[in-house]
Chains A and B, each alone.
Chain A
C-alpha cells in the first residue's frame, strides 16, 4: 500500500493535533515546552492500544545509536484517517516532530511523522496532545 502524501502542511498539522479525549493527559507525561525532532530509521512499529508506537533508531555524530519511542494515536484513529500499519516498513527513513517526555526518557508525543520524505499521520484527535483539554 502506498503512503498517502498530503498537500497542505497546515491541514496535516491540524489533523494530528489533539482533542479532548485522552487515554492520559498530555501534560501529565509530555513537556509542551520541549518540542523535538528525531531523524533516523524506523526500527519497529507497535500497532497497539492505547497508543501506536513508531521506534526510531537515531545515530549521533559518533555513531552511537539511540532508539526513540514516538507515541501516536491508537490504531483505530489512524485507520480512520487512512493510514494503515502496512504503510510503514522497517528500515524506512523517518522524521518525527513532537514533544519530549518530561522524565527525560527517549519517548515523545508524535505530532508529525515523515516517512521517506512524505508526511503521514501521527497523533490524532483523542490522544490528548496540544490543543486538547
Chain B
C-alpha cells in the first residue's frame, strides 16, 4: 500500500488522451450535438413561442464559460477599473460558484450546464443545475425600482417583442461575483438585456447585451444557442453546499487560462499506467 507521484509522460500520449476525452465528454449527458430541425417552435395558448424545455449546450459553443466568446481575440473591453477588478478576481478571490454562491447573470448564460425553463403567461422561470432559479415577471408595463436590492440575477423584468422574450435586468451585486468561469468582472452598474427566442422546436437562443460602464468601455454581446434535451431529461437535486470539501483547498482565480480562452493546464502529466487487472 502506497502512494506515488508520477513523472510526466510524452506530449503525444497526453494529447491523444485529451482529444479522446473531449470526444467522449461530448457524448455524455451534460451537452449534446447540435441538430437540424424542421419542427416549428411550440406556442402557448396566448400565442407566444413556448420557451419551456430542458436545454443543453452544444460542442459548437467555444470557449464555454467565457463571456468574451464573441469578441475579437477574446478580449474584453475593460476600463482601467475593470482591469483592476479582473486582476483582483484572478489573484485574490475564490470562484464564488465553487463556494456555492449563485453564479447569476450573465454567468449562467455562458455556463456549460443544462437548464430548464417553465413558461407561464405572466411569469417565466429558469431553473439551474445548482438548484438556483430565476423567476421573471413578464409585464410590459412594469418598471424597474429606483434602488433595487442588489442580487446575483438582478431585478429582472420580461416583455415580449413579437416572438422574442426580452429580459431587462439591473440591480446586480458588485462583490463575491464573477461574470463567468474565467473570473471576468462586473460591477453594480451592470445592465443586462437578454433577447430569448426559440427559432424551432429543438433550439433556444439568446442574445445577451452586457452594459457595464464602470468596468467596460462599451456594451458588448454574448450569443448562444442550446438544443432541446430528451423528453425524459430534467433537473435533479444538487445540493452544492452539502459537502463542499473543495472550499478549503481551492486557490484564487480559475487557474491557468489557455490561449483559446478555456481553463486548464497548457500541458498535463498523464496518469500512471493502467493496472493490468482492469482488462479482465
Is the Cβ of A19 less than 8 Å from the Cβ of B26? yes
Is the Cβ of B274 less than 8 Å from the Cβ of A9? yes
Is the Cβ of B250 less than 8 Å from the Cβ of A119? no
Interface of A is mostly: mixed
Q: Which of A98-133 contact B (CB under 8 A)?
A: 98, 100-103, 105, 107, 111-112, 114, 117-119, 124-126, 130-133
Known: A13-B274, A133-B112. A103 touches B251 (CB 8 A): yes
Q: Which of A1-43 contact B (CB under 8 A)?
A: 5-15, 17-29, 32-41
Chain B contact-residue range equals: 35 or more
Minimum CB–CB distance for A83 against chain B, Å: 14
Is the Cβ of A48 less than 8 Å from the Cβ of B271? no
Q: Which of B156-179 contact A (CB under 8 A)?
A: none
Interface of B is mostly: loop
Known: A27-B265, A107-B245. A21 touches B30 (CB 8 A): yes
Q: Identify 20 residue pairs between A and B in the complex whose beta-carbon atoms are under 8 Å apart, listed by A's number.
A: A17-B24, A19-B112, A20-B64, A21-B30, A23-B240, A25-B181, A29-B249, A32-B267, A33-B8, A40-B1, A48-B239, A76-B238, A107-B249, A114-B275, A117-B280, A125-B24, A126-B30, A131-B18, A133-B64, A133-B65
Q: Spell out B's residues near A (CB within 8 Å).
A: 1-6, 8, 17-18, 20-26, 28-31, 57, 62-65, 94-95, 97-98, 100, 111-113, 129, 181, 236-240, 242-246, 249-256, 262-265, 267-272, 274-275, 277-280
Q: Apart from A29-B251, A130-B21, what 19 extra A-B contacts exist at CB < 8 Å?
A: A8-B279, A15-B24, A17-B17, A17-B21, A19-B26, A20-B31, A20-B64, A20-B112, A25-B263, A29-B250, A33-B267, A35-B270, A37-B272, A49-B238, A49-B240, A114-B277, A118-B277, A119-B275, A130-B264
